Chain A
Amino acid sequence: MNRQEFLIRLEHLLDGISPEEKAEALQYYNDYFDDAGPEKEQEVLEALGTPEKVAENIKKDYFASGKSSFAEDNYFSTIAPDKSLTKYGSSDGNYGSASYGAASGERASYTDSTIAPKSDRWPTWAIVLLTAACILLSPVLFGLLMGAFGLAVGFFSIIFAFGVTAVALFFSAVVLLIVAFMALPVSAGVCLALIGAGLVCAGIGFLFLVLTVVLCGIVTPAICRGIGWIFKRIFGKKEAM
């Protein structure tokens, strides 16, 4: 990677921050390369690391700097001398490790940041209880599952039946029209009646066709989405615990 590539990549990576900040940062690093001189370009590139790391550092500080002045809060409020050590610890713990990734290790503060609580997973007892319940209630669950399966089969059978009905009606309509045509020399009235019947069949057949399409294309996806929504609500709520 050379200087140009580095700076271009950095520019893209900084898209999340304000244009003024972005311009300042890019100007800084551009000047940095200039001041180091062309002979030191590779050295600088190695020392800076990847554009990703540089952008990450900039963004972390950018988003953390919404807090009020770090120095004022933590130094003027230090009262007793023996509290200064904890102030170093807690303040650096929150600010230091928030601003500077601990990836390289050299910027982590003296004290570790707090251990993240396991709040985004189900508590262990709940998992155990749920497993036990599943085992005990397995016959009932099996029955329910079969019931659901039956419903699904029934639903798709209805769709199938509608489809077949539509086809049958269309077929009848065609037959009636053919017979009507054959009856034309015999009797005009019969011919007309048969044409009418054929058209009625076609009409009803079309109705069933529409029903089939609707059930397939609209109702089925809607049911699937509805089931998905129900599951999300159940598991989404637990995650918020």
Chain B
Amino acid sequence: MVFNTGAALLDAIVLAIVSKEPEGTYGYKITQEVRQVIELSESTLYPVLRRLQKDECLEVYDMECGGRNRRYYKITSRGWAQLQLYESEWRSYSDKITGLFEGRRENEGKDLAVSNE
């Protein structure tokens, strides 16, 4: 993985993953899905979940499953709003960078064309 994932982006990723499950999902499953998207140390995920919970972007509930209680995380309405904010910020941010790379490629193309004449 070339680019580091900042705290905000990680929040966005976790929110997006949890939001896919309307009834919520649990820590282990969230971690597995995050790791399919980015490389992440499993020890960093819990603080993110805790923080999102404290910020009221996620809510928790316990459900009995196979004789033990399992803690589920579910996105809140505030979490939805936050996620949408993150998504639009990401679009604008990544568009700019993509534009920068493509513009450079275009310029490079022009330079090569000129020098080949």
B16 within 8 A of A: no
B82 touches A32 (CB 8 A): no
Write out, one digit per residue, whether chain A residues 1-40 have a CB within 8 A of any chain B CB (1) or not (0): 0000000000000000000010011011101101110000
Question: A interface, by DSSP: helix, strand, loop or mixed?
Answer: helix
Question: B interface, by DSSP: helix, strand, loop or mixed?
Answer: helix
Q: How many A-B residue pairs have CB under 8 A?
A: 118
Distance in angstroms from B39 CB to nearest chain A CB is 6
B110 within 8 A of A: no
Distance in angstroms from B69 CB to nearest chain A CB is 8
A110 within 8 A of B: yes
B89 touches A31 (CB 8 A): no
Report chain A residues within 8 Å CB of B80: none
B46 within 8 A of A: yes
Q: Count the B residues whose beta carbon is within 8 Å of the partner chain — how many? A: 39
A65 touches B46 (CB 8 A): no
A88 within 8 A of B: yes
11 new A-B contacts at CB < 8 Å, known A65-B51, A107-B44, A108-B6: A21-B50, A25-B50, A29-B46, A32-B31, A49-B41, A69-B55, A84-B92, A84-B93, A92-B7, A100-B7, A106-B1
Bound-state CA distance A61–B71 (Å) is: 20
Bound-state CA distance A74–B9 (Å) is: 13
B71 touches A108 (CB 8 A): no
Given A32-B28, A75-B89, A106-B39, do A70 and B8 touch, yes or no (CB 8 Å)? yes
Write out, one digit per residue, whether chain A residues 82-116 have a CB within 8 A of any chain B CB (1) or not (0): 00110010011001100110001111111000000
13 A-B contacts, Cβ less than 8 Å apart? A24-B50, A27-B71, A28-B71, A31-B26, A31-B71, A49-B42, A57-B46, A65-B50, A65-B51, A70-B7, A71-B8, A84-B93, A85-B93
Report chain B residues within 8 Å CB of A81: 92
A96 touches B6 (CB 8 A): yes
Report chain A residues within 8 Å CB of B39: 106
B43 within 8 A of A: yes
B51 touches A107 (CB 8 A): no
From residue 45 to 81 of chain B, which have CB atoms closer than 8 A to chain A? 46-51, 54-55, 57, 68, 70-71
From residue 17 to 36 of chain B, which have CB atoms closer than 8 A to chain A? 26-29, 31
